[in-house]
Structure 1
Amino acid sequence: MSKKLTKNQQLFIDKTLEFTEKLYSEDDNKINEVYKNQKKNRDDILTEIAKILLSCKIVDSLLSLTLVERKILNLKLGNIIDDAIKSELKNESNIMKDILSDTCLEKYSTNNYIYSLGTNFKLTQVPDKVLDKIINGKIDSDLWSDRLWSNKNEIAKNLKVQVKKFLQGDINVNDIEKVIKTKYNTNATNTNRLVKTEITRVQSASNDYWAKEHNINQQLFMATLDSKTSDKCRGYDGQVFDIDDSSKPVPPLHPYCRSCLVNLPNKDWNPKQRYDNQNKQNINWTTYNEWKDNQES
């Protein structure tokens, strides 16, 4: 028979889910600074291309350059691309480190705050050594900084390929702006995917560290109730795991994963309610599959 949840325990779970969602949204402003820098660099490249269109010979909507002109312009545009990507790498590395550090500390602090609402205990903080370990944790053996470098390197290569084709007359002058913007859309998507996925990883790691420090023994896997949730997360939703279970699914389970592990006051407990992200309202407790069946009926 499950133990009755106290008012304070219910509050702990409700606030855990509330603050988890809040931490995701708070980082959007910082991510927007990344996009502003990317847009500036994209526009700088397009401005240089516009100068070429105004000063160079065009035949049948294609550039018609001499070999010497192509080499000079290719080198110039290549340097602009290199400078742009280097600035993005430095800027995004600093912003991501700040985001992940804030995420780790805020997740730990919110757990402290929520727990203190119903329990007297000594407040603790994340040691610098633990913070550094959490921030620099790996996904599939790769650090976030390695993934960022790889993404930027790939974008630089792709931009240079398109610029070379443009200068050779293989890309219509009317299409080059769209080509560059498409590549930069990919650039923004790569960054957004990396940041969102790493935020989930750091939240999970910070939450696990806090749970072990406060003798939490079980955690409940909770997916997001909407149509975007992956089959993998749907399958785990509502399941309870021992905190040291080696088979415990620890978010992120995939890019853009929004699932989380909720610390439980006792093993047999389920929340009274959860948030329906599809219909934007709180509903009585249900698993993902039960919720989905109700949506389809």
Structure 2
Amino acid sequence: MDNYTKNDEVEFIQSLYDDAEEAQKEIYKEQKKNRDELLQIIANIMLTYMIMDNVMNMTKEEYEKEYAKIFKTIIGLCNAEAEVAVTKTTDILKDTVNKTFDFYSYNAEFKDVEDIINKEYKGKHFSSRVWENEQAVAKKLNQQLDDFLKGKINVNQIQKEIKDTYNNSAYEVKRLVETEVNICEDLAFKQFCRETGVKKVTRNEVLDSKTCSKCAPLNGKIFHLEDAPGSIHALCRGFNTIAADDEEITKNDVQVNDNEKITKVKNDKIIVKNNIEKGNIEKEIQNKNINNSKAKNEPETTIEKNNIKKSSNTNKIPKLNETEKWSLDYYTNDGFRELNKTLREGKKLDSTMNTAVKGLDSSLSKLPDYKGKVYRNLDFSFNKKGMDEFLNNHKEGDIVNYVQYTSTSKADDVFGNKFLGKDSIKLSIKSKSGKDISNYSQHKMEEEVLFGRDSKFIVNSIKNDKLGGVLIEMEEL
């Protein structure tokens, strides 16, 4: 389209999400088919075996027979869902990029489209996220069906739980697809701008009524193309448009770096992204003269059910600087995976990880010690060899050293499961200096207590759990 109005452009951007939503229905259809198949299996089990007091009453042999069949079925269903989701999402993103190029009358090559949809977001390709989501769904379904067969979930409740799991899975699909549509539209638009000499763009954050407080202050701001923000968060609907030649770059109140290092908005909120050039983050933060008045994620009393939880360790609220708060946010928002893996393997840390380690070490030194029992569940359903290796390194009386950071939870039912059951290990740890980071975490309900690098523990006992897993009791040294 050579000539278009601003309204045409807004309608076009909206159409990308509308088209994606329509195309997602194929994924939802696959999920519904698989959900109904699983519910039919449950109905057949209830017709076949004895029910007492609204729960299944099965012998060990009956349980093992049905669990083996269900486990295999769930893995097959989730694998099929993942394949459909990856294929359909790929089609949606190709369509998004092609339509964006067409709208701005840019003659792109096939390779241009492929390069954009194969870009990683926060270190991962979308297909990896699809498979991770499906593995999490499989794990959840297996736990629910395991509890059902063992009489822990009554026959009236299991149907609702399975439906809830699939509803949550459908939301994750929507979240992933719409986020990737936003990313691909932005990358395609910026490529068009570079190729045609566009230097300045205007940020639009009011596509619909869902604008968040993070993005709202950016609306209408003018940026150099290379400084313009991209996708700021999951489900972001912000986009950039070509600015008029006589429009001036917005100064002082909004600054966004090309590598998404720091976005500073009027109220001094800071969003630090993962793609940070070596050494720049601390320098940038220092140069901004940040107002360290009460931040939105300062610790506050946590209320659970009808009881006010007041830790004996929280008499004084420590003040964390922006690097420290960013590091905790980075760690709890998926950063822990690559960071801990790199630390365990003794590999060289990249600049982002170096900054994160520095901030984590500093923040953990300021936070009060948490004294009490904490828990960690390890699932080895797809890694029996890994479970054997872990047990070989954890014998009664052994002193173990964890070179990486170690995440645990104050809640015995970690992530809603009292115990993960078969092919799993549960660590019960007596903490002396772990740090409660739940108020700084992306996932507050996990009640996370974090141990620093090189924490040492003594293994006090190892027991086989009645559900087929292993319980290891340890104490921090």
Give the TM-score range, shorter chain: 0.7 to 0.9
Residue 11 (structure 2) aligned to one of 11, 14, 18: 18
Residues 81-111 of structure 1: per-residue CA shift (max 9 Å, x gap):
1111111111111100000001001011011
In the alignment, structure 2 segments of 5+ residues that lack a partner are 250-477
Find the aligned partners of 2:157 and 2:119 in 1 and give their Cα distance: 42
Residue 255 (structure 1) aligned to one of 231, 234, 237: 234
Find the aligned partners of 1:75 and 1:226 in 2 and give their Cα distance: 48
Deviation at 1:249, TM superposition (A): 1.4
Deviation at 1:170, TM superposition (A): 0.3
What is the identity, as a one-letter code, of the residue corresponding to 2:242? Answer: N
Find the aligned partners of 1:244 and 1:196 in 2 and give their Cα distance: 23
What is the identity, as a one-letter code, of the residue corresponding to 1:209? Answer: Q
Find the aligned partners of 1:14 and 1:226 in 2 and give their Cα distance: 13
Find the aligned partners of 1:100 and 1:225 in 2 and give their Cα distance: 19
Q: Does residue 138 of structure 2 align to residue 145 of structure 1?
A: no
2:20–2:177 contact (8 Å) kept in structure 1: no
Residue 215 (structure 1) aligned to one of 188, 193, 197: 197
Matches within 5 A, 1:1-297: 11-112=4-105, 124-224=106-206, 227-245=209-227, 248-250=228-230, 252-268=231-247
State the secondary structure of the residue aligned to 1:231.
coil
Find the aligned partners of 1:44 and 1:18 in 2 and give their Cα distance: 40
2:178–2:235 contact (8 Å) kept in structure 1: yes
Q: Structure 1 203/267 Cα, relative in aligned 2: closer, same or farther at 3 Å?
A: farther
What is the identity, as a one-letter code, of the residue corresponding to 1:172? Answer: N
Deviation at 1:267, TM superposition (A): 4.7
In the alignment, structure 1 segments of 5+ residues that lack a partner are 1-7, 113-123, 271-297
Find the aligned partners of 2:225 and 2:136 in 1 and give their Cα distance: 38
Residue 366 of structure 2 corresponds to none
Deviation at 1:222, TM superposition (A): 0.6
Residues 192-249 of structure 1: per-residue CA shift (max 9 Å, x gap):
100000000000000001111111111111112655211111021111101122xx31
Report the structure, 1 or 2, having the larger strand content. 2
2:222–2:248 contact (8 Å) kept in structure 1: no
1:82–1:156 contact (8 Å) kept in structure 2: yes
Deviation at 1:13, TM superposition (A): 3.0
Deviation at 1:145, TM superposition (A): 0.7
Find the aligned partners of 1:264 and 1:162 in 2 and give their Cα distance: 53
What is the identity, as a one-letter code, of the residue corresponding to 2:46? Answer: L
1:13–1:263 contact (8 Å) kept in structure 2: no
Deviation at 1:12, TM superposition (A): 4.0
State the secondary structure of the residue aligned to 1:256.
coil
2:207–2:237 contact (8 Å) kept in structure 1: no
Find the aligned partners of 1:208 and 1:135 in 2 and give their Cα distance: 14
Residue 375 of structure 2 corresponds to none
User: Number of residues paired by the alignment?
Assistant: 249
State the secondary structure of the residue aligned to 2:214.
helix
Q: Structure 1 42/14 Cα, relative in aligned 2: closer, same or farther at 3 Å?
A: same
State the secondary structure of the residue aligned to 2:88.
helix
Report the structure, 1 or 2, having the larger helix content. 1
TM-score normalised by the chain length of structure 1: 0.80
1:223–1:229 contact (8 Å) kept in structure 2: yes
What is the identity, as a one-letter code, of the residue corresponding to 1:83? Answer: G
Find the aligned partners of 1:24 and 1:173 in 2 and give their Cα distance: 39
1:56–1:65 contact (8 Å) kept in structure 2: yes
What is the identity, as a one-letter code, of the residue corresponding to 1:263? Answer: I
Find the aligned partners of 1:239 and 1:177 in 2 and give their Cα distance: 49
